[in-house]
Chains A and B, each alone.
Chain A
Amino acid sequence: MKTVQETTDLIRAGKRLVIAGDEHLLAQLPRGEWIGGTTPYFMGEEGGLFSRELLQVSELPDSVVSVQTSFYDVRLLHRIPHDYHTSGFSFIVIPAFSEVHHAFAKDCSSWPDVFDRPLVGWVAGVELSEVGKVHPKVFDGVTGVSSESKALALHAELPEDIYARACIVNLFKAGTGDVLHFPERGFEVTECYVNNFKHNFADYLIANKIDTREPLVANYMGAMVNVGIQHVDAEARKVTLYAPVFPEVDYRVAVPVEDYAVEFNKLLETGHTKDVVFSCNCILNYLYAGLEGKKTGQMVGPITFGEIAYILLNQTLVYLTIEKM
């Protein structure tokens, strides 16, 4: 975690940075090769914390040859893979609750070539008590422009012998209960199929006393992809989700995680977690697992309103490694 002055010094020294922090801090930073997004929640060196005084700074390694930044509105979003470097990786930061946030989540997995280079990043947020009052923002340090409605990407070029890899750590596993299908793609759900029988999803969650802190989990060829449950409206019989569900995918409610920090550290020991240049974790993990003051290994980074590893994820740690081939 760094002060505005320390971050300013890094920018002026020509470092390429990905920065997370409160809006009033990001707005004070000088122009340079950096992008940023708002959040006051972090995984710092000493554990989870809330801060409106400090910034979380990820420094790109010197092996990065060049970086370019670009804003994308809903119309241009699908062009992100066109701007990938032949060798490299891309960061993306998206303001939460914006039209572009929903469009990215619903459509990105169908974009041609989206999986060709590592695409990682986060959904910018605000203090939870300010949701609906203050808009999350993204900041382009190269142009000095910020936005609450456009996605911002930083496309980094690497030499051909250096390889970037997007990885995830997800503690949630699909339970052995009902298989859920959703006929429509989206963040708002009324109808679902439970073991092929049609139900109202809100009614199903209530009748079965499902703990909505546990996400829905889908198995993407061994990668467990979560969809967090935001709100169950019993009266309107409607469920709002933190990420979209897709009609072709089987979902199950996750098995509860006993102690997130302990289980997380165990899982990290088995994964490839050296050469990490960036990581981020989810606000729901921070809240539900009580991560304030608790460390999750050596992983530091923003606590976000959605994590991105090619697609939008929930309740998942995302990280990027850069290594020599």
Chain B
Amino acid sequence: MLPPKNDPRWTWFIDHIGETHVTDLSAKMFLSRLKMQAGAGHADKRELIAMAHAFFTKHETALADDIRRIFADEAGRKNS
């Protein structure tokens, strides 16, 4: 299940976006764009979290495996 926007795992996720592993092509493309925006300073962390949260909310069913991997395995473990 997708964590709420104020969950600290989102901050971890944005800080480590380059290390994230996803399998779906749309998620790869979306996260690449997010990474470029973060790198170019085009958006602050709160905006990046809002964009990522909105994307994963829209695709929660289709990207269930990727979401589980990001938040349960990676961010979840590092934040626990």
Interface residue from A110, A168, A222 paired with B21 (Cβ < 8 Å): A222
Produce 1/0 per residue, B16-34, CB < 8 A to A.
Answer: 0000111111111111110
CB of B36 within 8 A of CB of A168, answer: no
- The minimal Cβ–Cβ distance linking B65 to chain A, given in whole angstroms, is 12
CB of A118 within 8 A of CB of B31, answer: no
CB of A309 within 8 A of CB of B25, answer: yes
Interface residue from A223, A247, A249, A325 paired with B29 (Cβ < 8 Å): A223
Contacts of B29 in A (CB 8 A): 109, 115, 220-221, 223, 310-311
- Which of A62-70, A126-134, A159-167 is near enough to bind chain B? A159-167
CB of A249 within 8 A of CB of B22, answer: no
Is B62 an interface residue, CB under 8 A from the partner?
yes
CB of A110 within 8 A of CB of B33, answer: yes
Contacts of B35 in A (CB 8 A): 221
Contacts of B61 in A (CB 8 A): 325
- Which residue of chain B lies nearest to A168 when distances are taken between CB atoms in the complex? B25
Is A248 an interface residue, CB under 8 A from the partner?
yes
Contacts of A167 in B (CB 8 A): 25
Contacts of B22 in A (CB 8 A): 221-222
Q: How far is the CA of A115 from the CA of B28 in the complex (A)?
A: 10
Q: How far is the CA of A223 from the CA of B20 in the complex (A)?
A: 12
CB of A310 within 8 A of CB of B36, answer: no
Number of interface residues of B (CB under 8 A): 23
Q: How far is the CA of A116 from the CA of B54 in the complex (A)?
A: 10
Is A246 an interface residue, CB under 8 A from the partner?
yes
Contacts of A248 in B (CB 8 A): 36, 39-40
Interface residues of B in 54-70 (CB under 8 A from A): 55, 58-59, 61-62
Q: How far is the CA of A325 from the CA of B64 in the complex (A)?
A: 12
CB of A223 within 8 A of CB of B33, answer: no
Q: How far is the CA of A116 from the CA of B27 in the complex (A)?
A: 9
CB of B58 within 8 A of CB of A116, answer: yes
Q: How far is the CA of A109 from the CA of B32 in the complex (A)?
A: 10
- The minimal Cβ–Cβ distance linking B62 to chain A, given in whole angstroms, is 6
Q: How far is the CA of A247 from the CA of B55 in the complex (A)?
A: 24
- Which residue of chain A lies nearest to B37 when distances are taken between CB atoms in the complex? A248
**Can you spell out 10 A-B residue pairs with CB atoms less than 8 angstroms apart?**
A115-B27, A115-B29, A116-B59, A220-B28, A220-B29, A221-B27, A222-B28, A248-B36, A309-B25, A311-B29
B interface residue numbers (CB < 8 A to A): 20-33, 35-36, 39-40, 55, 58-59, 61-62
A interface residue numbers (CB < 8 A to B): 109-110, 115-116, 118, 163, 165-168, 220-223, 246-249, 309-311, 325
